[in-house]
Amino acid sequence: MSTNGTPGPDDGAGAPGTGRTTYLLVDGENIDATLGTSILGRRPHPEERPRWDRLLAFTADAWGQPVRGLFFLNASSGLPMSFVQALKAIGYVPVPLSGSAEEKVVDIAIQRTLRALLERADDVMLVSHDGDFLDDVAPLLDRGRRVGVMAFAEFRNSGFTPLEARGLQSFDLEYDVRAFTAPLPRIRIIPIEEFDPAQFLL
């Protein structure tokens, strides 16, 4: 379950039959960097990375509507064809980007996509910890869209937290989405309603 609850069947927005789509926007570079630098302390092995198909399945199940997954890649140094083909095989649309070394091409592309989605009656699930997206996420909430953020909760930019009062839903990649095949070496922040002392008593 999300940290601030998942809408029930009577919430209306994005319910089956409304014709809405959820756009799953994946900042893979950000997730990989956070996993490697902040959690593992080294470059992740392939088996330690998220099962990207589980993000698609979780999003479809959570909001009960079709999902279009856009996976943004920095391809300035070349296209990782095997990874791109794997993404396509599980249902993503790869978005390879290039630019100068000074340009955060993935961030720029996701920001433009969030702004473009303001003109559409669709919902958004953002996969990133990055505070660079805050200014583009907030207007979507004001338009009555369902907006979610998938990330490692303890490393997500703190600016997302106040947006939960405006409807932002937060999902932990490991504990909610179950995107990993083995437990990660994290110290979990436990919501008080989930605290079970028996887990700590020998």
Alpha helices for the chain (secondary structure H): 28-34, 52-63, 81-90, 105-117, 134-142
CATH number, domain containing residue 143: 3.40.50.1010
Is residue 128 included in any domain, yes or no?
Answer: yes
Q: What domain range is 81 assigned to?
A: 22-182
- Which are the contacts of 172, defined by CB distance < 8 A and separation ≥ 6? 3, 150, 151, 152, 153
Is residue 37 included in any domain, yes or no?
Answer: yes
Is residue 5 included in any domain, yes or no?
Answer: no
- Give the model's confidence band at 63: pLDDT under 50 very low, under 70 low, under 90 confident, else very high: very high
Is residue 197 included in any domain, yes or no?
Answer: no
pTM of the model: 0.86
pLDDT tens sequence across 146-173: 999 999 999 999 999 999 999 999 999 9
Six token digits for residue 1: 């379950």
- Give the model's confidence band at 190: pLDDT under 50 very low, under 70 low, under 90 confident, else very high: confident
Q: Name the more confident of 11 and 177.
A: 177
Q: Name the more confident of 131 and 16.
A: 131
Q: Which of 15, 2, 4 is nearest to 163 (CA)?
A: 4
User: Which helix (DSSP H) or strand (DSSP E) does residue 122 occupy?
Assistant: none
What average pLDDT does range 6-23 have in this prediction?
57
Is residue 127 included in any domain, yes or no?
Answer: yes
- Give the model's confidence band at 11: pLDDT under 50 very low, under 70 low, under 90 confident, else very high: very low
Is residue 195 included in any domain, yes or no?
Answer: no
List residues bridging with 25 in a β-sheet.
70, 126
Q: How far apart are the first and last CA of the chain?
A: 28
Is residue 13 included in any domain, yes or no?
Answer: no
Count of domains for the chain: 1
What average pLDDT does range 26-48 have in this prediction?
93
- Strand, coil or helix: 25: strand
What average pLDDT does range 125-136 have in this prediction?
97
pLDDT of residue 134: 97
Is residue 139 included in any domain, yes or no?
Answer: yes
